[in-house]
Amino acid sequence: MHTVAVLALDQVIPFDLSTPIEVFTRTRLPDGRPGYRIRVCAEHPETDAGAFTLRAPWGLDGLRDADTIIVPGTATPGGALSPAVREALRAAAAEGTRIASICSGTFPLAATGLLDGLRVTTHWAAADVLAAAYPEVEVDPDVLYVDNGRILTSAGAAAGLDLCLHMIRRDYGSAVAADAARLSVMPLEREGGQAQFVPHDTPPTPRGSALEPLLAWLRDNLSRDLSLADIAGHAGMSTRTLIRRFRDQTGSTPLQWLHRARVRQAQHLLETTEHSVERIAAQVGFGSPTSFRDRFKRTTGVSPHAYRRTFGRRRVPDAGGRGAMSPGGREA
């Protein structure tokens, strides 16, 4: 039987801790046998889990012969990793143990050096912090999980469930994984990545910078067909100077920033209106619905229609029998 050791670090996030325990405990093989044996391990007899104190039945010795080790996220991802935990994880990796992280669990895993040179992910809100703290790690903030073979990382919260289902499929095949997904009321493969969950105000907008008036003007003119020359002309500078200042102050180019702002506005319209995709494409300045769909999917990982199904509003009958809108994006 496959042994999964879940490592509970200090300030472990209960949701991240419980996800692998629940998913793997409920996994059954076609003959009804359990697919996994679960161990909850911790460095000390008691671990602070925020709302409660956890008493793990296993110490770090429970990691030694495990087939898989999972490192859940913690509320203090930047905290120091103890030498004992670092060495235990490195020793397990040297033995070929599969090691996976959930959410901010990528931080302690990165602190071991095991992620150096690898592409990884974490919760989108912590991606920049992870990249700054560990420049030798390639951080991809847009995906739900990354599988590097023996090292796997996942994004925030529910993405840990995606990762667990992915590992079940690797271990026992799609049929067993699909059954585990049904028990979790989850699709075996979710469409898109983290980008669809990022708040709409994410295009870089440096407060107090010289570009702030220009960025405000761009947001007010998203529906216009703006070229680089148009933007430079409004700013009163050459295109070369404009590009240099944009890179310095936003980390992006003017047109990249504009495209992202248009997509974020489109997300808002898909969530809050019944406008057609074609109308929204025109409202946010795309020359054609096709180019809008391509750019939207490239940015969010899903199509506009799929995004609306997930985050839009649906009709429910009001007191007079007329349709009113509520979250969900489908007709009631």
The C-alpha R_g of the chain, in whole angstroms, comes to 23
Q: Between the CA of residue 35 and those of 57, 65, 206, 222, what are the distances in Å?
A: 20, 17, 50, 53
Nearest residue to 284 via CA among 300, 303, 308, 260: 260
Per-range mean pLDDT, top range of 56-65, 75-84, 233-242: 56-65
Q: What is the pLDDT of residue 317?
A: 40
Whole-number Å distance between alpha carbons of 232 and 258? 13
Nearest residue to 122 via CA among 149, 143, 96: 143
Whole-number Å distance between alpha carbons of 269 and 222? 13
Assign 107 a pLDDT band (cuts: 50, 70, 90). Answer: very high
Structure tokens at 122: 């974490």
- Cβ atoms of residues 100 and 7 within 8 Å: no
Contacts with 105 (C-beta within 8 Å, 6 or more apart), sequence order: 16, 70, 71, 72, 73, 74, 153
CA dihedral 237, 240, 242, 244 (to 10 degrees): -140
3-state secondary structure of 80: coil
Instruction: Give per-residue pLDDT as tens, 183-204.
Output: 876 655 554 455 444 554 444 4
Per-range mean pLDDT, top range of 140-144, 148-152, 297-301, 320-324: 148-152
Is the predicted pLDDT of residue 261 greater than 90, yes or no?
no
Whole-number Å distance between alpha carbons of 231 and 258? 10
Partners of 215 in the β-ladder: none
Q: What is the pLDDT of residue 215?
A: 86
Phi, psi angle pair for 41, to nearest 5°: -120, 150
For the chain, the 3-state helix, strand and coil shares in percent, each to the nearest 5, are 45, 15, 40
Assign 282 a pLDDT band (cuts: 50, 70, 90). Answer: very high
Instruction: Give per-residue pLDDT as tens, 139-151.
Output: 988 788 888 889 9
The percentage of the chain sitting over the pLDDT mark of 90, rounded to a whole number, equals 48
Assign 270 a pLDDT band (cuts: 50, 70, 90). Answer: confident
Query: β-pairing, 151-154 with 145-147?
Result: antiparallel
Interval 103-112 mean pLDDT: 96
Phi, psi angle pair for 134, to nearest 5°: -130, 75
Q: What is the pLDDT of residue 303?
A: 85
Q: Between the CA of residue 1 and those of 24, 36, 66, 96, 177, what are the distances in Å?
A: 12, 6, 10, 17, 16
Lowest mean pLDDT among 99-113, 130-144, 169-183: 169-183
Nearest residue to 316 via CA among 329, 326, 306: 326
Indicate the average pLDDT of the chain. 84
DSSP characters over 166-204: HHHHHHH-HHHHHHHHHHTT--SS-SS-GGGGS-TT-S-
Angle between helices 228-235 and 212-220 (to 10 degrees): 130
- Cβ atoms of residues 103 and 72 within 8 Å: yes
Whole-number Å distance between alpha carbons of 312 and 331? 11
Structure tokens at 294: 């391509």
Contacts with 237 (C-beta within 8 Å, 6 or more apart), sequence order: 245
Task: Output the CA torsion sign for 284, 142, 307, 73.
Answer: negative
Structure tokens at 26: 């409920």
DSSP characters over 248-282: HHHSS-HHHHHHHHHHHHHHHHHHH----HHHHHH
